[in-house]
Structure 1
Amino acid sequence: MSTMQIASPAHLYYLHISSENPAKLAAFYRDHMSMGETVHGESHVLQGGARAAIISPGPAAQLVSPAYALRDQLALDALRERLQANEVPMTPLESPLYLPGAFVIDDPQGRKTAWGLPNRPLIEDQEPARLQHAVFQTTELDAVVDFYVSKIGFTVSDEVVNEEDGRIMVVFLRSDDEHHSLAFFRGSRNEWDHHCYETREWNNIRDWGDKFAKLRIPIFFGPGRHGPGNNLFFMITDPDGNRLEISAEIERVAAEVSPGIWPHNEYTLNSWGRAWIRT
């Protein structure tokens, strides 16, 4: 069976985040990430040109689900057929950001991902930074990656390997031509690691850095360059402590390219200097 990249390309469209103070968190993304805000019941819906989020009451610092957009109805139908063939249950989803027909699936650890067609055209924002990928830590890396690859159709772009024991420590997965829209780190916890917004170039990285500096929001990781993906980046945190990455120039990978193998060290995670190593 062909991969998503070939049969049903998808990109990260919005995040559904829970917060103990959803109004405060929504204000951060509305004001600092330049998104419009509407309120649907207890949820705050945020939309920019190419970034969006739903923030609802619940535990702090949890990603309820990353939500992916398929390119058209044929691609969504192809994904449905694949999931049905692989006996993956699909739960219908009503969302203010999807057209009718969206659904949610659960991975082996209960982690949810949403799938559907966007209910609005995506355009570039005046401050370019489109929502691009989400990353998790997991205690069951092998089983989780197998699910996303064999059941859903993601493709492994790169693996990061512990040179001492040969264990795979990080896996980067693509759902279209970009290097990754989802990734997993082997860790001691099962939690949301970070999410990322992709800009056009290094000058945009500079502009976002200057903006956050004026807001007195410090960078905690970077600036630097990742090995896997080859993208420029820096990271900050939002009021709930969720980690937010600004990135530029992420690699595009052809469907036939085999996964790359990288050593698990600081240079791989940041070729410019010190790295944040998950434990």
Structure 2
Amino acid sequence: MTDRLITHLRHVDLAVPDFDKQREFYTNLWGLTQVAEDNGIAFLAAEGSPEQYIVRLRKDAEKRLDLISYGAHDRAAVDTLAEQLAADGVQLVHEPRDVDTPGGGYGFRFFDGDGRTIEVSSDVETRQHRKIEEKESIPVRISHVVVNSANPEATRDWYEKHLSFALSDALTLPHLGDLMYFMRCNPQHHSMAIARGPHTSLHHVSFEMRGVDEYMRGSGRLLRAGVTKVWGPGRHMAGNNTFSYFLDPHGNTIEYTTELELLEEDHWHPSHYDVTNPETQDQWGTANPFNELVAKESYNDVDRGCFVAPPV
């Protein structure tokens, strides 16, 4: 197993035109807690997570993915990674420095191969969190993020080379090739995945629930509230996790999940799952079919933030 400098996914930051509507959705319906606000920026935490926040919302005229943030072991790991990326010609947004968002810390930002802004930080203060109780249908933590790429093979290679992510599994379509790569930075089956799409964009953000009952209760709450369901409920083959996908008010796909597989990394060998097998997409057979409409929603809008760092 490779010694990695990155440890885990911290948060995903979104810019949206209708800030108040988006914030109300993520707090009152999705189940996150606002812990701080600063001039059109809201920091939203999961009650079960030690992370200061797992979603940041920023008011902007254009919808975009601001950044994806990962944790590192310590300041030395941050410095080492920054030096390695700069030596490899990766464009840094800024050098390692003190972080001024909730919880502080030490980190830097850079562009990945598709132009997304990535942040890596360490020494962020742990947030006081709590155990999520039985039947409490709110997210425990952020699970993973999936991105679209017009060249997923190159994006996969980039993350393997520069950030030491490893391939866990892939989805493939016979005679056409691979459709999605599930990538890990720790024993969790995937902290990110790379999907083949027509353009660079956010595919979906996934949130871990306490268990299957809480996952179903949360899914039901959204359905009763009239939130658009994209796909689910079901259980994937790759990762063996449950899924229910919904649209937030700005058309981003977000997921409730639970029971994502933990791997014995030293003994794991990736599989390429054929998506023409119905059980690959949904072992249970309870989800609506994955069709062109589902795929279209997951493509999302073209990301306007490629190689343009967010202002904050």
Aligned to 1:120: 126
Change (3 A) 1:79 1:204: farther
What is the aligned-residue identity percentage? 23
Deviates more, 1:139-148 or 1:264-273: 264-273
Partner deviation per Cα, 1:215-258 (whole Å, 9 max, x = no partner): 33243210001111010111111111111100010011122222
Residues 19 and 240, structure 1, Cα contact 8 Å, conserved in 2: yes
Provide the C-alpha distance between the structure 2 equivalents of 1:157 and 1:17, rounded to a whole number of angstroms. 27
Provide the C-alpha distance between the structure 2 equivalents of 1:59 and 1:136, rounded to a whole number of angstroms. 22
2:244 corresponds to 1:244: no
Aligned to 2:279: 267
Residues 128 and 204, structure 1, Cα contact 8 Å, conserved in 2: no
5 Å-filtered alignment, 1:150-161, equals: 150-161=161-172
User: 1:98 Cα deviation (Å)?
Assistant: 5.3
Partner deviation per Cα, 1:22-62 (whole Å, 9 max, x = no partner): 12211211222231243212322222332522111235542
User: 1:13 Cα deviation (Å)?
Assistant: 1.4
2:49 corresponds to 1:52: no
5 Å-filtered alignment, 1:205-244, equals: 205-244=215-254
Provide the C-alpha distance between the structure 2 equivalents of 1:255 and 1:78, rounded to a whole number of angstroms. 24
The alignment's C-alpha RMSD in Å is 2.4
- The TM-score, its normalising length taken from structure 1, stands at 0.87
Provide the C-alpha distance between the structure 2 equivalents of 1:139 and 1:244, rounded to a whole number of angstroms. 21
5 Å-filtered alignment, 1:99-118, equals: 99-117=104-122, 118=124
2:20 corresponds to 1:8: no
User: 1:12 Cα deviation (Å)?
Assistant: 1.6
Partner deviation per Cα, 1:185-213 (whole Å, 9 max, x = no partner): 11212211110001232112122123223
Change (3 A) 1:215 1:234: same
User: 1:76 Cα deviation (Å)?
Assistant: 3.6
Residue 220 of structure 1 aligns to a residue whose secondary structure is strand
Provide the C-alpha distance between the structure 2 equivalents of 1:210 and 1:264, rounded to a whole number of angstroms. 27
Residues 172 and 272, structure 2, Cα contact 8 Å, conserved in 1: yes
Aligned to 1:42: 40
5 Å-filtered alignment, 1:78-93, equals: 79-80=81-82, 82-84=84-86, 86-92=88-94
